[in-house]
Structure 1
């Protein structure tokens, strides 16, 4: 009995320890964090986290900064800036831009929610309305530009990380705004150099004609030199650290220039600190530990439920058909790993034809499903010509569905609880898992059957082709590698090229960054699939757990592009 409950207990402890560490870091020095909703424009609702430093009040208002995340991210993605600014004495409003997180509307509407967010920030009694800054990463420049255009004198300075003042035009927002006292942080290995500044490499941004025009320069912009006049609001400064686009909001080199600029341009922070003195990474360590705890908790929940009387008939040892790792086994391993990675870029492009629509409103999710379902079809076709021993699976559909739902429900409850208590979720860098609100739950229910179809095929093929008699715990490693190794190789090729030449081997910046998440997620899928198969001789429970988990993950963190109230924003449309 004690052994049965051990993974469950370990999962709970990891979640509690990791979440408490994350909470402790983001409230360091007496900072409070509040989850808020406030009215947006045209009937929308916006979501944000408000970080308030100790001592900030109506009697002693503090300087404040509005921070905005990038495309298909959420407010938590800017926690490094929020934590570092708040513990120095700035009030921070970390917003979900429109169509992201818990903010309604769709991507780009109402200038990304920027004007309404700035109004809300200025309405807070603890905010010094004469000392407000704006910061945005990537598409997060959209709400910054929109806020600045709506209230040109309502802020004192701005920071764009991996972005451009023209970013709003991508989704029909403000085409360009002459931002006050602007610091631009653009990575020397930024994957979007061509899109943002029309230069081949991030390290060449100083030579961008658009950047030179913004700085009023007739020669390459000198990094670190302040152009213009701080007092007049015309100051400009460039920072070009040797980091990639996703590292601009996840590195000391990316965060420090923003902290430094706001300490220079805004007055009244209560606790000035050196810009490189940063603690935010420990919050990310905490939420990573909690994420790992979630996986262990779900496995432990499955094991505990399997001993329950009604579900105990599911329990039986796996009976794979293969005797050993012969050439056929290794070929199956290579194909399992390689095909999803090889098809990723072309199928994501094809997936753009799965336009957002009622029931399926998330364009990136639609593209991922085209990739997934096409790979399911390829797997079935390969299975027709790939002569492998046929295992005898056990299938109990109703009980498998029941145990899968209960397993994921327990994991979901753990996240909902720590979010309620401490305003933290489970994440690390580009990996992030959030609770679902009612709207996103309806999206998840629509997408779930499609993800289920994919995982039923994928996990059945995994066990049929790679299951081996007498296999020990090494089965977990081989399954995880079979699922994610292709993406490890693909990303290694992309980033080896980027670090060596300054450009990606294949010009797929957005999908390359999306692909980073596939490495841990697919490894987790492999572990869940093996854990459940070894205890049930069935691919069905694992497939259903993975479908529920991945649907939840993707829908909660991906942008919405369609709603009944708004037209689909298409770049270039008048």
Structure 2
């Protein structure tokens, strides 16, 4: 009873830490009272709602209107990401900033993403102009990646704009007024570096020279401003020491945007809102969000620890066997096979997801574009792993009851074992969902770090949950359950903590090792200015966004391995870990992936 009470106390303690982190993130986002930040929803010309975050400096009123900017996130992202590449830092310096969720992204889900209407980007610009505290004569637009392309499209439709900043975008043209291109030195997506490499060689590229008003015989100068700001002909290409995602989170990107819009929309004036461009706080907000996310997950595990001591849930626990199903030598061999399989399967099958993928066009109930590629890779991997497991099990004498696949309790059926494990996983998820909903509703922040993670779901996204959970559950049952916890179960350590850490480290090596090798293969040559690995060998279709996504997928796999091992060590059965991690991954996938254009 004492240990149960202590577990509840720890659950509440980490809950308090999570709420503290989220509240701190909201304070930083509001610059401790200097910015009014609100989530707004407005009807578009398509008669569908668009959701956005509005940053209004307190100094911006109907009597003292301020210059205003439309902030556009990139593909697979959402409005929260704009705080890392300008929204927060510009609002702190006297700009009204409207950061929209493009259609199909974030909370703007009643219409899918589509190039035809720029995923609603122009709707955001029109709404921005209706705000009474906005100076209609000083309007600008900035965006990253696809958002940068949409910024150009919106600008061309609206000649009343005064300045544009495209981050990891195209070179632009003479229709744009005062255009700043923020270029990544290690840009991995071919379309944003004129499909050439190295990036530094772009100083001689015809399209780049033409875009800034130079002849093809000239040489482009990085970080040099061409043209005249007063007549809108100013052009600048700022070179940032970063990759595609690196540009989105670089301090230099923010500094370039601050100075550019200060000069083009504020005439270089530094009023009471001005802050030195080098004094930036967006990273503090992101780390506060990461702290809140981490504390929320620990709180959920503490809650699980308490509930597992309850009579109803304690029935689904047993002592973890000390046996290993295979020898150390065989374990290493199987780990190597899995690493090689990952290296082969990930690039091939993820390609079936994306803007031109066929799955969503054939199966409209699965509209997550890149999400479909991830799910297909997981399902194919699960099928192959299951076949290997079945073949291996035929020659093995281990007891699946002892290893936690079937009940080892005469008073508990396997069905009850599974159903109670599922119920506990749902309760833990509900706990996390309540935290995520609270901080979003009252403080306007999310449990995230740089990327959409644990977000409250719109009705459209909630409808997709079961569709995507079933194939993801299949993968986690096979891989986290049968493979990691049975076939490749590791030696028990001297303590719970040492066992958990050792198991997680070793599992991460073979579960995410292949992904790490792929990332290194693609990016090491890129950072050496040779070119992205898959581009170098003539297979650029396997690079680009899919290698870029590994920066998100690899940490998730490691955390899921940790949670899965924790659940197995606590219960002795595979099911709590399988259910909880599969639900978490589905939540992240369904909540953050773009709902694609095949629903148009």
Give the secondary structure class of the aligned counterpart of 1:549: helix
Contact 2:186–2:529, Cα closer than 8 Å, also in 1: no
1:155-234 equivalent positions in 2, closer than 5 A: 155-164=161-170, 178-218=175-215, 219-234=218-233
Q: Deviations over 1:389-430 (max 9, x none)?
A: 634323412111111111111011111111112111122234
State the distance in 1 between where 2:512 and 2:396 align. Answer: 22
**8 A contact 1:322–1:389 mirrored in 2:** no
Paired residue secondary structure (2:50): strand
SS in 1 for 2:388: helix
Deviation track 1:86-143 (CA, whole Å, cap 9, x = no partner) reads 1111111011112111113222342221221011111111111111110010000233
Give the Å deviation of 1:361.
0.9
Q: CA deviation at 1:270?
A: 4.1
| 2:513 corresponds to 1:485 | yes
User: Quick one: distance in 1 between partners of 2:123 and 2:465?
Assistant: 28
Task: State the match for 1:278 in structure 2.
Answer: 280
2:209–2:219 contact (8 Å) kept in structure 1: yes
The answer as to whether partners of 2:53 and 2:100 remain within 8 angstroms in 1 is yes
2:86 matched to 1:87?
no
Partner of 1:381 in structure 2? 387
* CA root-mean-square deviation: 2.1
Matched residue, 1:467: 489
1:112 to 2:119 alignment: yes
Preserved contact between residue 193 and residue 199 of structure 2 (Cα < 8 Å)? no
Out of 146, 149, 152, which is 2:156 matched to? 149
Which segments of 5 or more consecutive residues in structure 1 lack a partner in the other structure?
Answer: 167-175, 567-574
Q: Summarize the Cα distance change of 1:46–1:372 in structure 2 as closer, same or farther, 3 Å threshold.
A: same
Partner of 2:45: 41
Which of 295, 301, 317 pairs up with 1:299? Answer: 301
Identify the residue that residue 441 of structure 1 maps to in structure 2. Answer: 462
Deviations 1:472-517 (A, max 9, x none): 2322332344332322232122221111134111130110111111
SS at match of 2:136: strand
Structure 2 counterpart SS, 1:427: coil
Match of 1:401 in 2: 422
Q: Is the 8 A contact 1:145 1:177 kept in 2?
A: no
Contact 1:67 1:93 in 2 (8 A): yes
Name the counterpart of 1:572: none
Matched with 2:368 is 362
Per the alignment, in what secondary structure is the counterpart of residue 51 of structure 2? strand
CA distance in 1, matches of 2:10, 2:594: 34
State which drifts further: 465-474 or 81-90: 465-474
How has the CA–CA distance of structure 1 residues 222 and 439 changed in structure 2, closer, same or farther, with 3 Å as cutoff? same
**Gap change, CA 1:91 and 1:305, over 3 Å in 2:** same
From 18, 21, 24, the equivalent of 1:18 is: 21
SS of 2:303's equivalent?
helix
Matched residue SS, 1:426: coil
CA contact (8 A) 2:325 2:487 kept: no
CA deviations on 1:421-440 (whole Å, 9 max, x unpaired) are 21111222346332111111
User: Please, which moves more after superposition, 40-49 or 116-125?
Assistant: 40-49
- Name the CA distance, whole Å, in 1 between partners of 2:68 and 2:29: 17
Whether 1:128 aligns to 2:130 is no
C-alpha spacing 1:502/1:136, structure 2 compared with 1 (3 Å): farther
Partners in 2 of 1:524 and 1:366 — Cα distance? 22
Shift in Å at residue 255 of structure 1? 1.6
| 1:412 equivalent in structure 2 | 433
> In the TM superposition, what whole-angstrom CA distance separates every residue of 1:142-180 from its partner, at most 9, and x where no partner exists?
331232133212x210000001167xxxxxxxxx78211
Moved more, 301-310 or 509-518: 301-310
Q: Is the 8 A contact 1:112 1:142 kept in 2?
A: no
Aligned 8 A contact 1:27 1:33 in 2: yes
Alpha carbons of structure 1 residues 562 and 381: separation in structure 2 relative to 1, 3 Å: same
| Alignment match, 2:532 | 504
Could you tell me how far apart the structure 1 residues matched to 2:299 and 2:337 are?
31
Q: Which residue of 2 aligns with 1:57?
A: 61
Going from structure 1 to structure 2, the CA distance change for 1:77 and 1:26 (only over 3 Å counts) comes to same
Q: CA deviation at 1:325?
A: 5.8
Kindly report which structure 2 residues correspond to 1:301-340, keeping only aligned pairs within 5 A, or say none.
Answer: 301-319=303-321, 321-322=323-324, 326-340=328-342
Kindly indicate whether the alpha-carbon contact (under 8 Å) linking 1:31 and 1:54 is maintained by their aligned counterparts in 2.
yes
Shift of 1:184: 0.5
Q: How many angstroms does 1:251 deviate by?
A: 1.3
Secondary structure at the aligned position of 2:453 is classed as: strand
1:100 counterpart SS class:
coil
TM-score where L is the length of structure 2: 0.88
Corresponding position of 2:7: 4
Closer, same or farther in 2 for the Cα pair 1:320/1:369, shift >3 Å?
farther
SS of alignment partner, residue 549 of structure 2: helix
Residue 61 of structure 1: how far off its partner (Å)? 0.9
Contact kept? 2:162, 2:232, Cα under 8 Å: yes
Residue 455 (1) aligns with residue 476 (2): yes
Q: Distance in 2 between matches of 1:492 and 1:300?
A: 36
Structure 1 counterpart of 2:410: none
Structure 1 counterpart of 2:102: 97
Instruction: Give a deviation string over 1:11-46, Cα, whole Å, max 9, x none.
Output: 313312321221121111521110111122322321
Q: Secondary structure at the match of 1:278?
A: coil
